[in-house]
Amino acid sequence: RDEDRYYTGWEAWLPELWKVMGLPQMPLSQEAPAPCYRVDVSGTGKPPISDDDIVPPGAAKLTLLHNSLLVPEKYDRDIRHYEFKIEGTPVSYKTGDSLAVWPRNPLDKVEEFCKEMGFDTTQNLRVLPMEGARNWCPQELSVRQVFSHVLDIFGKPNRKF
């Protein structure tokens, strides 16, 4: 089994499959995709939105009540049981429902990352979606908030990266 599950193995195996099937190889594209967002600096200082208000449309901020690991610590996947407080929120739950999580990056690591990259975390930005934009992002927020609340800067890139 590949470390990345099937992704790494699939990418290595796919060209051989195409060859055996007599299909032409897919050309590798070297072109950078067109930008999906326009980002302008709109000043510095207090962020135009509070951290607690950065929640995607249709989502609700919930309080985590319980978090326990369901597999042995050395297991190859992190499988957990979570319990959230939903009373007093617009969230309802029926057996079998799924829950999407909007994670945040640790602020100390974000500050360190931005410092290393030369970003001013106090700069405020205006983010305007353009044609092709698929992901939600607040239209006004700080550089720190982009890296702490919107972008996954510490996750492992997927095969489409």
Walk along the chain (161 residues) and give the pLDDT tens digit of each residue: 556 555 566 677 778 888 888 888 776 666 888 899 999 999 888 999 999 889 888 888 889 999 999 999 889 888 999 999 999 999 988 888 888 888 899 999 999 999 999 999 999 999 999 998 888 899 999 999 999 999 989 887 765 55
CA dihedral 55, 56, 58, 63 (to 10 degrees): -30
pLDDT given for residue 145 in this prediction: 96
| CA trace torsion 134, 138, 142, 144 (10° rounding) | -60
The predicted structure's pLDDT at residue 102: 84
Q: Name the 3-class secondary structure at 114.
A: helix
Task: Copy the structure tokens of residue 128.
Answer: 């305007």
Tokens 């950065």 sit on residue: 54
Q: Which pTM value belongs to this model?
A: 0.70
For residue 28, the model assigns a pLDDT of 65
